[in-house]
Structure 1
Amino acid sequence: MKSVTSGHRLADGLDTKIAEVSTSLQSSVRPIVEDLIGTSHRPVTLARRLGIDKTLTGRIMRSVRANDPFEILHNAPAPHGLRIFLKAAADAGVDEDLREKAESSIADFESLIDAFPEGRSALEAAISDYIPEVRKRNERTAKQSVYKSMSYLLGYQAEASLLTTVISPSERSDMVDTTHVDSMIGLRRLRGESPVNLFGIRRHCMLPDATNWIETLGGDRGIDDAHQFLLENYCGKPIPSLRVHDSANVRYSVLDAESLPINEPVTLVNGWTIRNASLRYADDEHTHEWHSSLLRIPTRTRVQDYFVHQDVWPGPPDFVPGMPGLDISTVRTPQSGPQHDRIDMDMPVEHLGLGVHQPGIRHSTAPWYQEMLGHVFESRKLNPNEYRAYRCEIVYPVPFVRMMVWFNLAQKPHEQA
């Protein structure tokens, strides 16, 4: 059999070893399968012939049919399962020479697995980047485990988190305003009595002469009552106790744990506007704008929607997950190439068209979502049909991973330059 190569996707030595083990395993197992069931490709036929589980024979059949060395090893059963197959093949009268060759290949496969400290799971992680469906499945499994463990450790969890941002021209021609609505759907306290920061607002000055401030969706400034930022028509009742906590340049809405009974779900929707929040145009120092968010509550689904006015910030946003690091207030331009502390996770971004009434805007976790968006745009006196909508939806988002969202800045028109 001609050797299959992995195309030097990993270190050369590991690539070569995987190609050798894959070629050997496939070329030794396939003749046994053909001896038993001929050219049939049905796992159930092999299972009946040998009297073994069809899940095991299904993996064997996928492995012998694969064309890529990574896929051969991914689909192959564990060495123990392959030896169950060999024993059944011996009982069925398969030639001893064929079985000895297969046993030698299985031993090589076992040695490759043992070369990784965490065994088969570490080998799967190394090759998963090059098999998209495996990568997605493994990532989802890992994130689901984080969701379960962090829910217990923190004592809170939620069904969904919807973070909506509206980016609109400011009264200052060189700035934009941002409106944010943070919805926590089905929030539950599982254990413990520690308060938790539910919603946070970062304050930062973009230009020396551009004063910015925070206000409610109704336009009220200087508010210290956390409940006045809530959109109460979309919150569950009774609303638990919240208080404001200021920390440096961040203002938090803090949940009083004892006001939320154990295992009683509640939905909270929090909204605010930052005037003169960000730059509108590029200049000699700034080519991009960014937003960051940090999810603190384990949740099954995270949806981040951006509604961007058609006259500002051209092009789709780039969502970049990363580890929280040192002060990022001076970061203005994304680095080219690999970024420090970036986490390699799938971040699908959809362009949903103009406005808030597109069918794709709906979300099953919040049947009232489009109605709420209409209320937000009406409160801000904005025309939703002038706004491009983008969505990034993540299943089992990882808590305390910082999401950086980058936008290109347009050049300032000549008449304003």
Structure 2
Amino acid sequence: MVQPGRGSSGGDVGGSVGGGSAGGGSAGVARAATIDPSLRREVEAVADALGRAMGELIEGVGALGGGPVGGVGERTGGGTVGPTALAGALGIDKVLASRLLKALRERDAASSLHAMPGPEPLRRVARACVARGVHEVVGLRASEAIARYEALIRGRAGDRSRLDAVLSAWAPSARREFELRRKQSLFRAMSEVRGVRAAFSHATVIVGRGQNEEAFDLVWVNGYRSLCRVRPGAVVKFASRRVVPWSHGRSVRALSGGLVTDPGQVVFRPFSSVPPPVVRVEQVEDTVQYVLGDGPVGEGKNLVYGEVCIAEVPRRVPTGSGRRGFFFAEVAVPCEVLQFDVLIQDGLYWDEGPELSIYDTSFEGVANVNDRRRDLDRLDLLESVESLGFPAKVRSGDMSEYGRLVEVAIGARWDYERTWFRGYRCRIDYPIYGTQVVMSFKAEEEEDW
């Protein structure tokens, strides 16, 4: 988890342990108005003209004795060649040659323009081709196509970054690259502003039966790898919170069985650094706050902590209410990777997969997935949930000891050997700071709530 917060389950059935980062392709996200159709037609026309013109230039170089330069697929009918050969033939940079060939190989307009180098680099290519002996008429057609491309960028989009944002809505491959680069930039900026960063953050909630037949017990295990301050004096805070009030015997304790407010109990030492990071803990009503103690700037620490939550989540929702059980992870620390896992004991909830929603919490705070007023705060991202199977396979390529950690966490509340769980994972590269990643499930209903 990135911001340890206690996840929340369901409708007014909910408990959430914060920790975790943001993620994913939200279900039911409100969509913006459709982009002007004339813009899409213009993009397609510009991409087609530019692809044909640049392909013709490159094929012209090959015809002059430079070999089968091209590799641009059906658009030009050329052969195949790598960027090194093209760069050598034209005397241009290999990176530029690679980007141009990639763009010309794309089969749809949006992907082609997204991969295409900017106008000035293309003009350098055009001049190099004409200098090699390609007919000036071919070079003129390329110059005209490049001018249309430049007009599209400056006149219609405003700048290249905005054009890429438009193109990402039409081309999945372009969108993935667009989102990843922007999220990476946000990570760099926020880690410097907040003064803290982590290489890996995990938030894991384990949902199972307890003694109370009307509520589920939860075990939350949250942690960071290489958590460090990058600026002196930076405050590093996590929180474990509940979205919906719930009583009826609800209680919280540390994995070890001690008080959750005891730092010596809440930090899971076998999976943390030696010596473990110093953590201050304070409980205020339904929120448990964790603050990382002072430490040297740049010193990375591994931290794992967790809670056992008894009778945390109501089992049923009102009949016909449409409410869902849900669990979430908040991104409270900028991190490179977030892994958010939900493990559910066999027979609980329906066997349907979860819906994934990602909320912007900057204005309204942490969201309840059953509050339709928060739908407009959902972010439309390409993140997704993968099934970990049944029984869940909980290995992690980001944390070698993760499987053992989950075994111990389950054993803190249930008989590990006799209790089977199905699992779901949302893994996000560069989760957006300040977002809330939610997995929601269809819950049991009852006549009287």
Same fold (TM over 0.5): yes
Superposed, 1:6-405 pairs within 5 Å as 10-38=35-63, 39-42=78-81, 43-115=83-155, 119-202=159-242, 204-206=244-246, 210-220=248-258, 223-247=260-284, 249-256=286-293, 258=294, 260-284=295-319, 285-314=321-350, 315-324=352-361, 325-326=363-364, 331=368, 333=370, 335=372, 339-355=375-391, 358=393, 361-383=394-416, 385-405=419-439
CA contact (8 A) 2:106 2:112 kept: yes
CA contact (8 A) 2:205 2:221 kept: yes
1:325-373 residue CA offsets vs partner (Å, 9 max, x unmatched): 43667x463759x9311122232322112346x3xx2224433222222
CA contact (8 A) 1:116 1:122 kept: no
User: Which sections of structure 2, spanning at least 5 residues, go unmatched?
Assistant: 1-32, 64-77
Identity of aligned residues (%): 23
TM-score by length of 2: 0.80
Provide the C-alpha distance between the structure 1 equivalents of 2:97 and 2:299, rounded to a whole number of angstroms.
46
Provide the C-alpha distance between the structure 1 equivalents of 2:210 and 2:244, rounded to a whole number of angstroms.
16
Provide the C-alpha distance between the structure 2 equivalents of 1:327 and 1:297, rounded to a whole number of angstroms.
16
Shift of 1:134: 2.4
Shift of 1:267: 1.5
CA contact (8 A) 1:9 1:15 kept: no
CA contact (8 A) 2:195 2:231 kept: yes
Provide the C-alpha distance between the structure 2 equivalents of 1:379 and 1:408, rounded to a whole number of angstroms.
27
Shift of 1:308: 0.2
CA contact (8 A) 1:36 1:46 kept: no
Shift of 1:281: 2.7
- Greater relative CO, 1 or 2 (CA 8 Å, sep 6+): 2
Aligned AA for 1:244? V
Provide the C-alpha distance between the structure 2 equivalents of 1:116 and 1:244, rounded to a whole number of angstroms.
53
Aligned AA for 1:296? A
- Alignment partner, residue 3 of structure 2: none
Shift of 1:35: 2.7
- Give the superposed CA RMSD: 2.9
Provide the C-alpha distance between the structure 2 equivalents of 1:272 and 1:139, rounded to a whole number of angstroms.
33
TM-score by length of 1: 0.85
Provide the C-alpha distance between the structure 1 equivalents of 2:96 and 2:52, rounded to a whole number of angstroms.
18
Secondary structure at the counterpart of residue 339 of structure 1: helix
Shift of 1:165: 0.4
Provide the C-alpha distance between the structure 1 equivalents of 2:301 and 2:88, rounded to a whole number of angstroms.
53
Count residues with an aligned counterpart. 398
Provide the C-alpha distance between the structure 2 equivalents of 1:373 and 1:238, rounded to a whole number of angstroms.
22
Aligned AA for 2:305? N
- Alignment partner, residue 4 of structure 1: none
1:1-43 residue CA offsets vs partner (Å, 9 max, x unmatched): xxxxxxx984212112112212222233333333332433325
Provide the C-alpha distance between the structure 2 equivalents of 1:281 and 1:157, rounded to a whole number of angstroms.
39
- Choose 115-124 or 158-167, whichever is displaced more: 115-124
CA contact (8 A) 1:178 1:277 kept: yes
Distance 1:121 1:201, change over 3 A: same
1:248-307 residue CA offsets vs partner (Å, 9 max, x unmatched): 532202222x2x222222222111122222232342335301223212112221111111
